[in-house]
């Protein structure tokens, strides 16, 4: 595998979730939660694993500045700002929209971590590319999702196999696709990952295949067998738009596990697991890991705080 810097010492824990399992119709011992909300860096989350490989690539190429972007509440932007601070690098963020009167959630952390922030109302990819060219930094790909970034989840799959030997299925949110793709590449089987779609990208399936094949090749492994499972039942009104099912899933998870999910990613992923069990698409007997990919700062965003 490629070089990696370390933001998380050792494996993230997996925790048995019997009370939640009972509430959603699974047998005791069938449901585990992989705590990738504890990956280190400010607020944790899945982006830290991708950044371990991306930052190693940036440093190997001699860069001292990371440039990336996303929505105003981007977890990826915040994690990149934290990675840069940890490594003594600069960070420039291009966020979509216009600056709010009162920062909230991830935006507070971006500023606290010392990132410079630029706002764009145009196509974000163009603004990020222009900022990278102007400043001479390393462009961290959207969502951290490139074959190199997805290596973080090839590694996570190896951790999971050791932690949960009878693992049958991992359930995750699928956004920019690197997490789902890396897991499939690491487990060697698309059928072992149930991705709950939270973004509208028309080419999400192709992205998944491209990323998984690319990161399997970098890791020296065969491409995963089968075809991606993409559960589109929880997208609702679109990316970032909360759904009733996600809010109910967040509340149930909080009250049966003490863990907090978010309305943009993990809440929809848990709603997908619950819905899949209810409809019979998922097997309540199969040992299942729900990947907690973080996102806690989003709960405190101005847009979502009134929901609680």
Ligand X SMILES: Cc1ncc(COP(=O)(O)O)c(C=O)c1O
| 176 forms part of the interface with ligand X (CB under 6 A) | yes
Shortest distance, position 28 Cβ to ligand X, whole Å: 27
Cβ–Cβ < 8 Å for 7, 85: no
| 253 forms part of the interface with ligand X (CB under 6 A) | no
Q: Which of 124, 137, 152, 178 binds ligand X (CB under 6 A)?
A: 178
For the chain, give me the number of helices (H) and strands (E)? 11, 10
Q: How far apart, in whole angstroms, are the C-alpha atoms of residue 93 and residue 271?
A: 31
Is the CA virtual torsion 250, 251, 253, 259 positive or negative?
A: positive
Q: Which region, judged by CB under 6 A, interacts with ligand X, from 116-124, 156-164, 175-183, 216-224?
A: 175-183
**Which pairing describes strands 229-231 and 138-139: parallel, antiparallel, or unpaired?**
unpaired
| 170 forms part of the interface with ligand X (CB under 6 A) | no
Catalytic residue among 74, 146, 176, 215: 74
Q: How far apart, in whole angstroms, are the C-alpha atoms of residue 160 and residue 157?
A: 5
Grouping H, G, I as helix, E, B as strand and the rest as coil, residue 35 is strand
Residue with Cβ nearer ligand X (137 or 263): 263
| 224 forms part of the interface with ligand X (CB under 6 A) | no
Tokens of 137: 């930094």
Residue with Cβ nearer ligand X (137 or 143): 143
| 32 forms part of the interface with ligand X (CB under 6 A) | no
Q: How far apart, in whole angstroms, are the C-alpha atoms of residue 268 and residue 196?
A: 7
Q: Which region, judged by CB under 6 A, interacts with ligand X, from 90-98, 101-109, 247-255, 262-270?
A: 262-270
Active site residue 74: yes
Q: How far apart, in whole angstroms, are the C-alpha atoms of residue 96 and residue 217?
A: 33
Cβ–Cβ < 8 Å for 127, 118: yes
Containing 20, the helix (H) or strand (E) segment is helix 18-23
| 8 forms part of the interface with ligand X (CB under 6 A) | no
| 76 forms part of the interface with ligand X (CB under 6 A) | yes
Q: How far apart, in whole angstroms, are the C-alpha atoms of residue 174 and residue 181?
A: 9
Residue with Cβ nearer ligand X (64 or 233): 233
| 73 forms part of the interface with ligand X (CB under 6 A) | no
Q: Which of 12, 75, 146, 257 binds ligand X (CB under 6 A)?
A: 75
Q: Which region, judged by CB under 6 A, interacts with ligand X, from 88-96, 183-191, 236-244, 261-269?
A: 261-269
Site residues (vs ligand X, CB under 6 A): 45-46, 75-76, 143, 145, 173-180, 262, 265-266, 293-295
Q: Which residues are part of the catalytic machinery?
A: 74
């Amino acid at each position: 595998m490629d070089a990696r810097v370390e933001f998380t010492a050792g494996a993230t824990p997996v925790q048995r979730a019997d009370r939640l399992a009972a509430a959603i119709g699974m047998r005791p011992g069938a449901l585990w939660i992989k705590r990738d909300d504890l990956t280190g860096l400010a607020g944790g989350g899945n982006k830290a694993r991708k950044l371990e490989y991306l930052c190693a690539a940036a440093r190997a190429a001699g860069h001292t500045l990371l440039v990336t972007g996303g929505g105003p509440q981007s977890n990826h932007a915040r994690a990149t700002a934290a990675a840069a601070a940890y490594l003594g690098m600069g960070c420039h963020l291009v966020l979509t929209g216009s600056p709010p009167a009162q920062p909230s959630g991830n935006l507070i952390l971006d500023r606290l971590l010392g990132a410079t922030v630029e706002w764009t109302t145009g196509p974000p990819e163009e603004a990020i590319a222009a900022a990278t060219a102007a400043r001479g930094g390393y462009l961290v790909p959207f969502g951290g999702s490139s074959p190199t970034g997805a290596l973080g989840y090839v590694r996570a799959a190896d951790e999971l196999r050791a932690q949960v030997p009878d693992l049958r299925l991992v359930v995750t949110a699928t956004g920019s696709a690197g997490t789902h793709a890396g897991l499939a590449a690491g487990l060697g089987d698309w059928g072992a990952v149930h991705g709950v779609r939270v973004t509208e990208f028309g080419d999400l399936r192709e992205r998944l295949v491209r990323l998984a094949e690319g990161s399997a090749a970098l890791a020296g492994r065969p491409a995963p067998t089968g075809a991606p499972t993409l559960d589109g039942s929880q997208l609702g009104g679109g990316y970032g738009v909360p759904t009733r099912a996600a809010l109910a899933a967040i509340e149930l998870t909080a009250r049966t596990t003490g863990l907090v999910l978010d309305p943009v990613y993990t809440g929809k992923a848990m709603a997908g697991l619950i819905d899949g069990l209810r409809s019979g698409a998922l097997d309540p007997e199969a040992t299942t890991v729900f990947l907690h990919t973080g996102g806690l700062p989003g709960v405190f965003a101005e847009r979502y705080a009134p929901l609680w």
